[in-house]
Amino acid sequence: MSEVRDWNLSETNLGRAEQIPYEIAVLPIGATEAHNLHLPYGTDSIQVRSVAERACERAWEEGAQVVLLPTLPIGVNENTLGFPWTLSFKPSTVLQMLRDIVSCLEHHRLPKLLVLNGHGGNELKALMRELFRHTDVQVVLVDWWTVDPHAMQANFEEPGEHAGEMETSVMMHLNEDLVELDRADEGETRESYLTGIEEGWAWIARPWDRYTTNSGVGNPERANAEKGEKFLDSCVKKIAELIVEMDEREIDEWYPYRSG
């Protein structure tokens, strides 16, 4: 029996794909950046790709005509370039890529797109607003790690913001060989003398090499693969449900709302 997964565009072929009226595409967007001293540069891309694969597989098994697009491996990291070998696209570059991808989907009459984001610095909402009047493709955006706050709370004592307990646990579940936990430190951060920043009501794109000591924010000490698996499963389940719902509903003048 063939191992080709029809829902994975990078694996399938024209012979198969011609037979399938795909209804919804999933586009994962990751990053290439330092993650404390112990996680791979590709952490965000590896994680978002895995979440997307598992969610697409699950949705496909439930009958969704979903196709997974290749993961964009570089994201917006303008403020973290202070750490060696981090790569970055400007938000305007990401917007151009999204425009081109959406235009291809339109060309192929693929009406719905789920953008699955894997990196906090990829603040894509403003880009979605840019796309809004320029395409008929219905675009929905999800930051994968935010979909189940209960699971986040249930599984982690201190999830951490960057390369902490949550991200390290998920990576240990996905590929323990790529986690060198003995290299990690606690991920210390510096306080700002601007009160608004400390109180959280003033915002800056934080210069990461000044804000953090080793690029990490959050302590990875209590991370383990089991927590990572449980959390990932909860997120995958919810994202798969969203894909099924998006797939089922015809696009009419009310999409995605109920009429009347």
Binding site for Zn ion (CB under 5 A): 43-44
**Among residues 8 and 47, whose Cβ is nearest to Zn ion?**
47
Closer to Zn ion by Cβ: residue 6 or 44: 44
Question: Closer to Zn ion at the Cβ: 8 or 43?
Answer: 43
Q: Is the dihedral of CA 138, 143, 149, 150 positive or negative?
A: positive
What is the identity of the amino acid at 2? S
Which single residue brings its beta carbon nearest to Zn ion? 44
Question: CB of 156 within 8 A of CB of 229?
Answer: no
Residue 8 or 155: the one with the smaller Cβ distance to Zn ion is: 155
* Smaller CB separation from Zn ion, 39 or 240: 39
Q: How far apart are CA 70 and CA 151, in angstroms?
A: 27
Which residues have C-beta within 8 Å of that of residue 76, sequence separation ≥ 6? 31, 88, 89, 90, 91, 94, 119, 121, 122, 123
CB of 150 to Zn ion, least distance (A): 21
Q: Which residue, 185 or 245, has its beta carbon nearer to Zn ion?
A: 185
CB atoms within 10 A of CB 154: 12
Rounded to the nearest 10°, the torsion over CA 248, 251, 255, 260 is -90
* CA distances, 239 to each of 114, 116, 213 (Å): 10, 9, 34
Q: Quote the distance between the C-alpha of residue 202 and its chain's center.
A: 25
CB of 145 to Zn ion, least distance (A): 9
**What order do you get walking across the sheet with 24-29 strand by strand?**
66-68, 24-29, 112-117, 138-143
